[in-house]
Structure 1
Amino acid sequence: MAKTMKGAGIFLAQFAGDEAPFNTLPSIARWAAGHGYKGIQVPAWDGRLFDLAKAAESKDYCDEVNGICREAGVEITELSTHLLGQLVATHPAYDIPFDGFAPEKVHNDPPARQKWAVDNMLKAAKASRSMGLDVSVSFSGALAFPYLYPWPQRPEGLIDEAFTELARRWKPILDAYEDEGVDIGFELHPGEDLFDGATFEMFLEKVDNHRRCTINYDPSHFLLQQLDYLAFIDIYHERISAFHVKDAEFNPDGRQGVYSGYQPWVKRAGRFRSLGDGQVDFNGIFSKLAQYDYDSWAVLEWECALKDSEQGAAEGAPFIEHHIIRVTEKAFDDFAGGRTDKAKLRKMLGIA
């Protein structure tokens, strides 16, 4: 049976704030529905919107959250654990900036911070199951990323050791998600050790092709790396469990290219844009995903160097709805077909 993806959804992380309507789940859910969204992707770490610890322990609380969303006219697409997954593996070079993702009690204490992150990743597995969600989305964290460019030359075995350790940390988490029947869709993102297809394959091999190790597909990061994001779907479609709809553009010049010269976002050769303002071929992407029966959510992740967020959100839902392909249940040329039987087929082939 043909499958059609769900949407439009919106990731709330870039919109949540201390002012109404962005500071409570009921109000931000109504805001999203008012813009035409049918689903919301909830940042599991943001206590203004969601109590992860309570959700892991209380099915009643999860039912209450789902009820709030239904009343507002949306449903939860996935729980996002990006900032939690980031802290499962953190290279010391990033300790200071990434402390801001964790409570103050574990600042300046990387082992305690990692333990806190793992504990919350496990809570998110239980919460997802209690909320009826089959997929969550996350980051992998990074041990090797500071050594991305091979200068100075990387010692033999450095990258293999990094991915071995990364897998050692994630395998028990993936097993816990297996127990709950929930996938982890890793967003392949620069700054993570999983940032493209090659690194995802390296990790997948290290975790023994774990079936809960999947991909949150985001073409914007691939365009900025100059990776063929349509061919990526051909290769990895069986592992794609979630979809961030995000646009980007890459305009190299005589001064900068992929690395963008440490410039601020508005001056970078590669920068994120609101949907339709960049260079991503969404017609091709939505067609590819429809071809491979992707039937989960299409979720706007809004990030733009130029446009106001409210305008980006307002434009996002109709853009996604326009691109979703309602997959046909019949072939376009069925009208020209005729009834056949085996004898007729053999006669057409000239077989006595």
Structure 2
Amino acid sequence: MSSLPASAPSPDGTILAIRGLHKTYPGGFQALKNVNLDIRRGEIFALLGPNGAGKTTLIGTVCGLTLPTSGTIHAAGFDIVHDYRQARAAIGLVPQELHTDAFETVWATVSFSRGLFGQAPKPALIEKILKDLSLWDKKDNKIMTLSGGMKRRVLIAKALSHEPQILFLDEPSAGVDVELRHDMWRLVRELREAGTTIILTTHYIEEAEDMADRIGVIRKGELIVVEDKTTLMRQLGRKELALSLPQPLAAVPDALSRWPLTLAPDGLTLTYTFDAHQEDTGIAELLAALGAQGIAFKDLRSSESSLEDIFVSLVHEQKAGA
């Protein structure tokens, strides 16, 4: 969907390169601490973190809304400070806040946003964007008459109007209805297929698990992990095997101590926890040992950590080590 501005080629496929980024606000608050990050062309990257972690500050700095204290940012090959116009023209931003010109029509607002980036009028593109976002029947309505969900759609349309190569979605699902969420994620997939790079922050971790190619976790202004989603879930995920017992067990026998087993308070569920990436899980040996101890089970079920579980464990580990 993107054609302008022409980007400087990157031999490794990187479209956004952040190096040694620090941001300190007046008063001494350090919002970003030595952030280093490469975003690949055409990927969906999810940035996760608790409130106040620095997600919005990082996005605002990349988008030129605030100047970095130190470090460099290159978007589509352009320095965000020294080549601001070219770098910013490569970026579309859908902010958290609902703010746009209340007295303009939807069509005028989205068209004007395209012109702000020096792009020639392209009515067919604006029409397609509005139709994709179910805004076409509202094109002549003033922004002030729209619902909150419709205003959110207008913000997305504005961000797409100049055909950005990089699209930031800052908490795009916050406070929106299910229909908009479905429309938005369908459009995101289409944009990615067309080569647009998507960077999103979200509190709906299941969305990141479903949509993202890579995950970054930020806490107190520091990136604590950046990893492919599947690798992250394989390396940091945990699996559980829960065995339902027909009779209560008073305690786990000493003969089973080599397995990390926990017994439910009622003695009717025995749970074995192991790493998701572990090749030799020991399950076969465990079941054989249970039989040797005369412990039968009537049912078993397995479960695996979700991305939310991994996120919570990462943040808690960092807190414990702080």
Q: TM-score, normalised by structure 2?
A: 0.30
Q: Which has the higher helix share?
A: 1
Q: TM-score, normalised by structure 1?
A: 0.29
